[in-house]
C-alpha cells in the first residue's frame, strides 16, 4: 500500500511555475508556491503524524504531509470541520497580512480525486472550529462537486457550485464589506465562477481570522492524497471587486 502512495506522487509531478499575473486592481501581498518547503508563518491545527505504514511517500517516517518541488501533498485523513464534529486533522493556517480592513482574496490550486462520501479539500477562512468559511472540492452524492460552507456558532449554511469532474481546480475566497464569496475555475484562462456569498462569521471586532487549507472526510486507513500549489493572498486596490455576481 505504501508503494501505491509512491506511484501516485510520481504521476502528479509537474512544474509549479510562476503563477498567474495579478489583475490591474489586485496586488499580491503574500505568495507561497509550496516549492520544497513551507514559507514562514504557517501553523498546523491538529497536525497528525500518521503511521509509518501510511506516511506520505518520501517524507520522514510517519509524516502525513510533505512539500515537494511541485506542491504540498497532504494525506487526507478522517474527520470533519462541521457543526460539532470538530475532529479534522492537518489544517494549515496563517495570519492575514495588513489587508483585513480592506477587500482582499486568497486562492490556491488543488489537485484531488475524492472517492468517499464527504471527502473534501480546499480553502478555509477560520476563526475557530465553529466559526469559519470553507470552499472545497467534495464528494457529494455520486460525484465530486464544489461546495461552499459558512458556519457561525456551529450553524452551517451551504452553497453548491455543481459537479466538477476534473482533478485540477483553482479555488478563491473574496472578502469585502462583511461578506465572503466563493469562486472557482478550471484553469488560469477561465473566468471565475461564483458559488455563493455569505456574511462573515465574525464574533466581534477583536476576532482575528486566519486563512489556509483544509482537508478531511477520507475513510480510515485509506491512501488518499491531495496536492496544493500557488497559494496567494491579494489585496484589492480599488472598490471594483464585487462580493456577488
pLDDT band at 58 (very low <50, low <70, confident <90, very high): low
Q: What is the pLDDT of residues 147-177, one digit of tens each?
A: 999 999 999 999 999 999 999 999 999 999 9
Q: Please, what is the average pLDDT of the chain? A: 87
| Residues whose CB is less than 8 angstroms from the CB of residue 200 and which lie 6 or more positions away in sequence, other chains included | 125, 133, 175, 178, 179, 180
Pick the more confident residue, 23 or 80: 80
Strands (E) located in 112-192: 120-128, 131-140, 143-152, 155-163, 168-176, 179-185
pLDDT band at 207 (very low <50, low <70, confident <90, very high): confident
Which residues are registered as beta bridge partners of 110? 169, 228
Please report, for the chain, how many H helices and E strands are present, in that order: 1, 17
All three cell numbers of 6, joined, read 509512491
**Confidence check: pLDDT of 2 > 50:** no
Look at residues 58, 54, 164 and name the one whose alpha carbon lies nearest to residue 114.
Answer: 164
Which residues are registered as beta bridge partners of 133? 125, 150
Whole-number pLDDT of residue 61: 59
**Confidence check: pLDDT of 128 > 80:** yes
H-assigned helices in 82-169: none
Q: CB atoms < 10 A from the CB of 58, how many? A: 13
For the chain, list the domains and their CATH numbers. 2-14+27-236 (2.60.120.200)
Question: HSE of 13 in the Cβ direction (CA atoms, 13 Å)?
Answer: 10
Amino acid at each position: 500500500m505504501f508503494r501505491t502512495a509512491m506511484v501516485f506522487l510520481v504521476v502528479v509531478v509537474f512544474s509549479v511555475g510562476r503563477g498567474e499575473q495579478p489583475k490591474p486592481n489586485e496586488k499580491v501581498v503574500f505568495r507561497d508556491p509550496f516549492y520544497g518547503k513551507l514559507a514562514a508563518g504557517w501553523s498546523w491545527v491538529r497536525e497528525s503524524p500518521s503511521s509509518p505504514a501510511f506516511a506520505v511517500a518520501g517524507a520522514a517516517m510517519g509524516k502525513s504531509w510533505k512539500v515537494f518541488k511541485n506542491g504540498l501533498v497532504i494525506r487526507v485523513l478522517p474527520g470533519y470541520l462541521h457543526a460539532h464534529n470538530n475532529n479534522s486533522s492537518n489544517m494549515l493556517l496563517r495570519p492575514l497580512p495588513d489587508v483585513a480592513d480592506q477587500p482582499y482574496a486568497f486562492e490556491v490550486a488543488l489537485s484531488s480525486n475524492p472517492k468517499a462520501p464527504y471527502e473534501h479539500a480546499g480553502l478555509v477562512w477560520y476563526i475557530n472550529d465553529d466559526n469559519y468559511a470553507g470552499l472545497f472540492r467534495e464528494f457529494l452524492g455520486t460525484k465530486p462537486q464544489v461546495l461552499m460552507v459558512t458556519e457561525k456558532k456551529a450553524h452551517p449554511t451551504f452553497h453548491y457550485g455543481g459537479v466538477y469532474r476534473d482533478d485540477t481546480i483553482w479555488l478563491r475566497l473574496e472578502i469585502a464589506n462583511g461578506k465572503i464569496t466563493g469562486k472557482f475555475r478550471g484553469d488560469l484562462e477561465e473566468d471565475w465562477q461564483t458559488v455563493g456569498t455569505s456574511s462573515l462569521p465574525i464574533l466581534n471586532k477583536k476576532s482575528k481570522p486566519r486563512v489556509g487549507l483544509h482537508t478531511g472526510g477520507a475513510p480510515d486507513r485509506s491512501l488518499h492524497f491531495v496536492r496544493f500549489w500557488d497559494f496567494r493572498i491579494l489585496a484589492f486596490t480599488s472598490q471594483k471587486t464585487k462580493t456577488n455576481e
